[in-house]
Amino acid sequence: MKQQRSEIVTGDRRITEVTDRCAAFAAEQGGDGLLHVFLPHATAGLALVETGAGSDDDLAAHLDELLPRDDRWRHRHGSPGHGADHVLPALVSPSLTVPVDAGRLALGTWQSIVIVDTNADNRTRTLRLSFLAG
């Protein structure tokens, strides 16, 4: 199994697209298989979503409604509302798997792979890619 780790700085973006990075890794492997994408973090996740047409903004806004940045959270260290960041991976998984056909991600026309990161306290993420040949 081939693997790659990359550091991704999400900055103040809640949604950071990583499709091109994933596609390049899959293309290097060639052939058919499965690409597994994983974030080893307790406060970020991965999603397949359309980007650039407002869906990514809708996702970020809806997460703000679902996980408000206030003092209701029992987990209270860090910035205000940081407890919400620790609930995020239960809603937005820290991993996903994408089929690869002849070195190309088998994504739908409008699907993009994104990091979802609401945590203002940690804006550097490790993206782990693994390719299992078919």
User: Quick one: pLDDT at residue 120?
Assistant: 85
What are the respective helix, strand and coil percentages of the chain, to the nearest 5?
25, 35, 40
User: In which region does residue 11 sit, left (phi positive, over 0), alpha (psi from -120 to 50) or beta (all else)?
Assistant: left
For 81, the token pair is 């509302």
Question: 11-15, 68-72, 78-82: which has the minimum mean pLDDT?
Answer: 78-82
Q: What sign has the CA pseudo-torsion 59, 62, 64, 66?
A: negative
β-strand partners of 117 = 44
The answer to whether residue 78 scores a pLDDT higher than 90 is no
User: Quick one: pLDDT at residue 71?
Assistant: 87
Q: How many CB atoms lie within 10 A of CB 105?
A: 17
**Domain extents for the chain?**
2-133
CB 93, CB 45: distance < 8 Å: yes
Task: Identify the DSSP state of 102.
Answer: T
pLDDT in tens, 22-60: 999 999 999 999 999 999 999 999 999 999 899 999 999
pLDDT in tens, 83-127: 999 999 999 999 999 999 999 999 999 999 999 999 988 889 999
Q: Is the pTM of this model over 0.75?
A: yes
CB 114, CB 12: distance < 8 Å: no
For 108, the token pair is 């739908």
Right CATH number for 2-133 from 3.90.1640.30, 2.60.120.460, 3.30.2350.10, 2.60.40.740?
2.60.120.460
- Stated as kind and residue range, the H or E segment containing 25 is helix 19-29
CB 39, CB 117: distance < 8 Å: no
